[in-house]
Amino acid sequence: MASQINKSETQETKKTEEKKAPKRGVKNPFVYGGTIVILIITIIAFVFIPSISSGFSSGSAPSFGSWKGKPITYEADSYFANQVAQINDYLRQQGMSDQNFQYYAYQVWQMAFQSTAVRTALIDIVKQSGFRVTEKGLDEAVATNAAYQQDGKFSVEKFNKTPLATKLSIRNTTKEDLFVRRYYEDIYTIAPSTAEIAFVASMAKPQRSIEYTAISLADYPDEEAAAWGAKNADLFKTVGLSRITITTSEADAKKVLAQVKENKLSFEDAAKSHSKDSYADKGGDAGAVLFYVFENDFTNKDDAKKIASLPKGEVSDVYKLGDKVWAFFKINSELVPADFTKKAVLDEVKAYLYEKERGTLESWAIAKANSSLDLTNAAAFAASAKKAKLALKKAGPFIINIGSPTFYAYGQQIPLLQGPYANNDPALDGAEQDEAFMTELFAAPKGKVSKPVVLGDSVVVFSVTDDTPASDDETALVKFAFPYFHQQVVDNQTRSTILKSKNFKDEFNKMFFKIYSTQASAK
């Protein structure tokens, strides 16, 4: 980094500022990009500006955190205050009032605090690098401040009429702005290379179209479900039971259990008067419960087996089910094996597989694709799909746009690449965001057939039917936009690194709610 700001450097910066810079003198439009974002997000919010002195000792300013031990405080005319005020003024212009907007106030104040924390850290980092601002360079920068401008020129009259305290504040803020600007001037020299830009632009081509067929996991055959269920029969046994759930303490649960076992209180009455679950109004009756559903409540699965194996009419001991949750059970009917010839039972098996054993369903669909389809070439693939009565469909074009990256410019979110292909087939939902599918799609030569690919709730097999290069306009737009996208990524990484640093201490929540509660009490 340079050691000082000289005259020519300052003059050049001034020209740049007049054309591009935001009011705070920061050259890059993405510096403090969070402020731009929050203006959009909180358009329906009102940000209160409290009488900040309330509740604090004389002469002190509330600290919301620190950077390397330096407090980040809210003070009049500070960067923090200006960040909040700018957003607040904007929202006032939208006709918002200060009624019941604590949540939105929280969002804006937090973003203002984070931007201030980032600014504080950047100033410290630049100072540590050895960079210094000369008095002459600072004078020239101060002269460009809007407070001293008249008809686009520095006004001696305005300068002389400005109170000394304000002059000092402007000078100090301008000096800090120069440190921050220096950081971003240096970091943004790390621009993407011509080769990198060309590589990203090449993602807009080719645009690939496919012919495909899909095997849905929902088509898992009943006979397969019955066979799997029979191998795991204990999961699908049912037990009729009632339960009482206590959420105060284990001791309370044991007291209620003792009353039930001593016949001082019926199980049904105890449930209605003491239980805290959805079965309480029914006297604790939970009906017939599948064993795998029942055991989900227990950390120790052996406890579930022990309870379910009790004889009819027996009442269990008290068991802890979770944080501040204890329960005991009454067996209304003993375990009954599942009948895997019944559709309702098979549906339960499929639901279990879908939720907990998707790999079994996916393996079946992949095996069916490999056995039913000829993957040699496109013609053989089409003929085999027809023979297997699997529908062939067309889709595309697809482009390489995983994650749909965007960047902010001029208050708008702009996509880096053109939007992904929109399709109406549920089997292709999320295809553009699925790395495995997109890798297979753009690795396969035209006319070749893919291997079976798991995509959402289906297994898809396809052949590439067409490659269409992107237009010159599309690639030119990506080449133009990528440096801005790259700049935002660098800015976001800088911001994230600072806010995650061990040097940053975040006490925002504690202070914000202290201020807010003080204001509420005052009202």
Task: For residue range 110-145, list pLDDT tens digits in order.
Answer: 889 999 999 999 999 999 999 999 999 999 999 999
Which amino acid makes up residue 64?
F
45, amino acid identity: A
Tokens of 422: 């929109």
Q: Are the C-beta atoms of residues 349 and 231 closer than 8 Å to each other?
A: no
Domain range annotation of the chain: 7-192+489-522, 206-218+356-468, 238-336
Alpha helix stretches (DSSP H) within 60-101: 79-93
The CA distance from 358 to 218, in Å, is 11
In eight-state DSSP terms, residue 280 is G
Q: Copy the structure tokens of residue 409.
A: 């410019």
Q: What are phi and psi of 332, to 5 degrees?
A: -95, -30
Structure token digits, residue 447 = 């006319």
- Whether 463 shows a pLDDT value over 90: the answer reads yes
Rounded Cα distance, 203 and 205, in Å: 5
Does residue 292 sit in helix, strand or coil? Answer: helix
Higher-scoring residue by pLDDT: 338, 59: 338
Q: Which fold has domain 7-192+489-522?
A: Triger factor/SurA peptide-binding fold (1.10.4030)
Mean pLDDT check: name the lowest of 115-129, 149-163, 198-212, 434-448: 198-212
Measured CA to CA, the distance from residue 383 to residue 375 in angstroms comes to 10
Output the pLDDT for position 46. Answer: 38
8 Å CB contact between 458 and 437: no
Flag whether pLDDT at 411 surpasses 50.
yes
Q: Is the pLDDT of residue 41 over 60?
A: no
Question: Cα separations (Å) of 76 from 81, 85, 165, 219, 507?
Answer: 6, 10, 12, 67, 20
Coil vs helix vs strand at 31: coil
176/26 Cα distance (integer angstroms):
10
| pLDDT confidence bin for 97, thresholds 50/70/90 | low
Question: 61-75, 335-349, 405-419, 426-440: which has the minimum mean pLDDT?
Answer: 405-419
Tens of pLDDT, residues 255-265: 999 999 999 99
Task: Identify the DSSP state of 373.
Answer: -
Question: Which secondary-structure segment (H or E) carries 214?
Answer: strand 207-216
Residue 211 C-beta-side C-alpha neighbours within 13 Å = 20
**Region 244-254: what's the mean pLDDT?**
95
pLDDT > 70? residue 3? no
For residue 521, what pLDDT band results from cuts at 50, 70 and 90?
Answer: low
Q: Can you tell me the distance from the alpha carbon of 55 to that of 521, in angstroms, rounded to the nearest whole number?
A: 11
Tokens, residue 4: 């000082």
Q: What torsion do the CA atoms of 428, 429, 433, 437 make, to the nearest 10 degrees?
A: -30
Is 459:214 a contact under the CB 8 Å cutoff? Answer: yes
Q: Specify the amino acid at residue 142.
A: V
Any idea which of 230-244, 370-384, 426-440 has the lowest mean pLDDT? Answer: 426-440
Q: Cα-Cα-Cα-Cα dihedral of 377, 383, 386, 392, to 10°?
A: 40
d(CA 63, CA 84): 15
Helix (H) or strand (E) holding 176: helix 164-187
CATH fold for the domain made of 238-336: Chitinase A; domain 3 (3.10.50)
Pull the structure tokens for residue 317: 């001991």
pLDDT digits (tens, 9 = 90+) for 266-287: 999 999 999 999 999 999 999 9
Q: Kindly report the CA angle at 35 between 29 and 37, in degrees rounded to 5? A: 90
| Cβ-contact 308, 286 below 8 angstroms | no
SS3 25: coil
Contact 399, 414 (CB under 8 A): no
Question: 168, 69, 177: which is closest to 123 by C-alpha?
Answer: 177
